[in-house]
Amino acid sequence: MTARTVLEVKNLVMNYEIKAGMVSAVENVSFSLPQGKSLGLVGESGCGKTSVALTLLRLQAPNARILGGEVLLDGENLLDLSSEEMRKRRWSGISMVFQGAMNSWNPVYTVGDQILEAIDLHWDPKPTAAKARAKIVELFGLVGLNPDMIDRYPHEYSGGMKQRAVIAMALSCDPRLIIADEPTTALDVIVQEQILAELKKIQEQMGMSIIYISHDIAVIAEITDLLGVMYAGKLVEVGPTVEVFARPRHPYTWLILSSTPSITGERRQLAPLEGEPPNLLDPPTGCRFHPRCPFATELCVTEEPPLAVIDDGHSVACWHHEKVPVGVRSGR
């Protein structure tokens, strides 16, 4: 039985308006995510991962212009909602954990009171005090925090504990989808691994869908079902994580995975590739990767390759995907 689709993003286009012109940060991005599954988004810095996340949540910067596309959450286009309706979908429909979120706790209230506020605002009907308290106790258990911490202030928490509490807050309204953008990068490696393992466990228990954004290929390989690779504002490849790792079909995916010596064992970050990602004020014509691509031809300079299905659930936007060697080039 195939799982229900929770999120379907269709042809999403978002630019940032700046003095010098329009920055093409999200260009024609489409993907879908079944219930209970997780999608990793990877790509070099500045390729548009956070821009996609913020646009899905409608939390994009004031100079962001959504120029087209649809963001369907259970079939409802979030881009059509009023800001008030969107506010109601946040937390309960689609929730988020951001990298810096652990620093956004208000120092003058206890962490429990701040989670309570989210519950009071978003639960419909509003729960009794006892029910809300029981929920917070349950959430603290899920994220590995002692319930004694509920009535403590943020300064009594360590960094890892604050980020666990951020995850508890993100879960407080039983969201169908969580977007986690570099949720643990500010923490030390051991704490990161513990928190990510717990997040995965919670996701499985609660049947939520998750989008993980990370530079850490090893983490993505371990915890996601699907993998999307972004380059210069475009989603260039998406498919089952094991399949994309085993048989990357886009030259960019192949190169970034090849420059990552090992995806098992030691933690591996995305290694930088030769050359620079393009300036998104004036991106290359045709395929945006053509100036750095070893397989590029004239066609790649003039025609934009569509994201086309090449295998079950595996899509790639490349005119020459059959030229990409099978398997990852042997490491350094």
Ligand X SMILES: Nc1ncnc2c1ncn2[C@@H]1O[C@H](COP(=O)(O)OP(=O)(O)OP(=O)(O)O)[C@@H](O)[C@H]1O
User: Which residues contact ligand X (rule: CB under 6 A)?
Assistant: 16, 18, 23, 25, 43, 45-51, 61, 63, 280
Q: Are 212 and 225 in contact (CB under 8 A)?
A: no
Can you tell me the distance from the alpha carbon of 78 to that of 69, in angstroms, rounded to the nearest whole number?
A: 11
**How many residues make contact with Mg ion (CB under 5 A)?**
1
Cβ distance to ligand X smaller for residue 138 or 282: 282
Cβ distance to ligand X smaller for residue 46 or 93: 46
CB-nearest residue to Mg ion: 50
Can you tell me the distance from the alpha carbon of 56 to that of 252, in angstroms, rounded to the nearest whole number?
A: 25
Cβ distance to ligand X smaller for residue 47 or 56: 47
Distance of closest approach, residue 136 Cβ to ligand X, in angstroms: 31
Q: Are 239 and 313 in contact (CB under 8 A)?
A: yes
Q: Are 141 and 147 in contact (CB under 8 A)?
A: yes
**Rg value, the chain, Cα:** 20
Cβ distance to ligand X smaller for residue 55 or 95: 55
Look at residue 184 and give the partner it binds from ligand X, Mg ion, none, a contact being a CB closer than 5 to 8 Å depending on partner kind.
none
Binding mask 11-50 for Mg ion (x = CB under 5 A): ---------------------------------------x
Cβ distance to ligand X smaller for residue 34 or 46: 46
Query: Which run of H or of E encompasses 98?
Result: strand 94-98
Look at residue 48 and give the partner it binds from Mg ion, ligand X, none, a contact being a CB closer than 5 to 8 Å depending on partner kind.
ligand X
Distance of closest approach, residue 50 Cβ to Mg ion, in angstroms: 3
Cβ distance to ligand X smaller for residue 85 or 282: 282
Query: Which amino acid, one-letter code, is at 27?
Result: E
Look at residue 51 and give the partner it binds from ligand X, Mg ion, none, a contact being a CB closer than 5 to 8 Å depending on partner kind.
ligand X
Restricting to residues 46-105, name those near Mg ion by CB under 5 A.
50
Q: Are 219 and 199 in contact (CB under 8 A)?
A: no
Distance of closest approach, residue 53 Cβ to Mg ion, in angstroms: 8
Q: Are strands 21-34 and 5-18 parallel, antiparallel or unpaired?
A: antiparallel
Alpha carbon distances (Å) from 223 to 59, 101, 240: 26, 21, 12
Alpha carbon distances (Å) from 245 to 119, 291, 312: 39, 24, 15
Cβ distance to Mg ion smaller for residue 47 or 161: 47
Look at residue 16 and give the partner it binds from Mg ion, ligand X, none, a contact being a CB closer than 5 to 8 Å depending on partner kind.
ligand X
Contacts of 230 (CB under 8 A, 6+ apart): 29, 41, 42, 43, 47, 48, 49, 52, 236
Distance of closest approach, residue 226 Cβ to ligand X, in angstroms: 18
Distance of closest approach, residue 221 Cβ to ligand X, in angstroms: 18
The footprint of Mg ion (CB under 5 A) covers: 50
